[in-house]
Amino acid sequence: MFSYLNISSQTHFCYLCTMNYIIAGIQQVGIGVDDLERAWKWYRTHLGFDVRIFEDASTASLMLPYTGGEPRDRHAVLAFNLQGGGGFEVWQHKGKTPLFPENIHQLGDTGILVAKIKSHQIEESYRSLTVANHVEVIGNLEKDPAKRRHFLVKDPWGNLFQIVEQESFFSTKRPITHGGVAGVMIGVTDVNNSLRLYKEILGYDEVVYDLTGHFLDLAGIEGAEGRFRRVLLKHSTPRKGAFAPFLGPTEIELIQALDRDVTHIYKGRMWGDPGFIHLCFDVAKMDALRETCENHGFPFTVDSANSFDMGEAAGHFSYIEDPDGTLIEFVETHKIPIIKKLGWYLNLKKRNPEKPLPAWMIRALKFNRVK
């Protein structure tokens, strides 16, 4: 069904040794929706993303390259699953009608195709989501080329989530058996070209597999009957940073269609319209990251310069594009709420950027849960 390509996992390791910026992990995946309250309730109920970091209704004035050259009113929520992993930024246009894609995305189309959710009890995750109301489970438990069990779930708006077994969790005490975001599957037109970003800048230097062929474990995805090059990337060393232990290890899976033409999932639409709108990394030392991105041919296309204020959280954000136009966001967090009811906010600007936050402080975020 597939063939191995011999590419060393250490090809670009030297870049990781010389990085003077910090990537703590995947902070969140942005999800555009047409009804924020309904969508976030679904993500709370079925995927456990119930810890609200901020909720903000204002105008996105800095994203002009991706919002038709106009500031756009929007309503957004950033939420996490306290078992660990990246969160969701659920985002709804308020000044215009959110525009859904005309056609169903196919495997290999460029952009973020699938968000990966980690599970510490994959069979129980499969059972609970299979019997849940308003959850579409696609196919059966399958094994990927790394022999990990996984299955696919589709939300009511057509977004795909791969629930995949993983051992690294911040906590496993909750009844729900799956945690937060552990990675994404991204469609690209040229894997080798994309590796310049994902390996050399973002630090995914370990190639778990690099295969070409037809993949039965992805049969539930539209267009999966074709031939693809499929590359799973991980980072060989643990991430550093305030939130690194909570965000945990992550992966990027690149999918290149080999026997058909592809289209970008946001062709004819704009950032914030329904779908996976961006992949966001928690970072420190943004100036060094900006310089590195520019030197590698990935200049910042959006840069908040100093600090954005979301009311309950603040920081410095920027965007780049991967070689196919997929949006990658970087956020250097300056302030987050720990216990909002007590007015307890954490100022991160004065901390050692490599030092992780105490576990008890992360656990205190449970007081921000929305049921």
Residue 270's nearest CA partner among 100, 43, 103 is 100
Beta bridge partners of 158: none
Tell me what pLDDT residue 353 has: 87
Tokens of 319: 């965007």
Tell me what pLDDT residue 251 has: 98
Structural domains of the chain, count: 1
Helix H segments across 132-278?
191-198, 244-247
- Scan for tokens 């902070």, then name that residue: 27
Element (DSSP H or E) covering residue 45: helix 36-47
Query: Exposed/middle/buried for 66, CB within 10 Å: 0-12, 13-18, 19+?
Result: buried
Whether 184 and 114 have beta carbons less than 8 Å apart is answered as yes
> Which long-range contacts (C-beta less than 8 Å, at least 24 apart) are formed by 342-345?
none
Tell me what pLDDT residue 330 has: 97
The CA angle 218-44-252, to the nearest 5 degrees, is: 35
Whether 361 and 369 have beta carbons less than 8 Å apart is answered as no
Beta bridge partners of 45: none
Tokens of 292: 């590195």
314-321 and 308-309 as β-strands: parallel, antiparallel, unpaired? antiparallel
Tell me what pLDDT residue 300 has: 97
Tell me what pLDDT residue 7 has: 35
Q: Residues near 150 by Cβ (< 8 Å), separated by ≥ 6?
A: 122, 141, 142, 143, 144, 162, 163, 164, 165, 217
Beta bridge partners of 4: 211
Tokens of 338: 């720990």
Tell me what pLDDT residue 340 has: 63
> Measured between alpha carbons, how far is 199 from 208 in angstroms, rounded to an integer?
13
Whether 348 and 53 have beta carbons less than 8 Å apart is answered as no
Residue 338's nearest CA partner among 300, 310, 305, 366 is 366
Tell me what pLDDT residue 343 has: 65
The domain spanning residue 311 has which CATH number? Answer: 3.10.180.10
Whether 140 and 205 have beta carbons less than 8 Å apart is answered as no
Tokens of 242: 């305030």
Q: Residues near 105 by Cβ (< 8 Å), separated by ≥ 6?
A: 111, 113, 222, 265, 275
> Going residue by residue through the chain (371 aa), what tens digit of pLDDT does each one get?
433 333 333 333 334 444 699 999 999 999 999 999 999 999 999 999 999 988 989 898 999 999 999 999 999 999 999 999 999 999 999 989 999 999 999 999 999 999 999 999 999 999 999 998 889 999 999 999 999 999 999 999 999 999 999 999 999 887 889 999 999 999 999 999 999 999 999 999 999 999 999 999 999 999 999 999 999 999 999 999 999 999 999 999 999 999 999 999 999 999 999 999 999 999 999 999 999 999 999 999 999 986 555 556 677 999 999 999 999 999 998 776 666 666 667 777 778 889 999 999 888 888 889 98
Whether 112 and 265 have beta carbons less than 8 Å apart is answered as yes
> Measured between alpha carbons, how far is 228 from 15 in angstroms, rounded to an integer?
28
Q: Is 274 helix (H, G, I), strand (E, B) or coil?
A: coil
> Measured between alpha carbons, how far is 122 from 132 in angstroms, rounded to an integer?
15
Question: What's the first-to-final CA gap in the chain, in angstroms?
Answer: 45
Total length of the chain: 371
Give DSSP secondary structure letters for 234-271.
Answer: E-SS---STTHHHH---EEEEEEESSS---BTTTTS-T
From residue 359, how far is each of 170, 287, 339 by CA, in Å? 9, 28, 15
| Containing structural domain, residue 20 | 2-368
pTM of the model: 0.91
From residue 40, how far is each of 5, 215, 256 by CA, in Å? 41, 32, 31
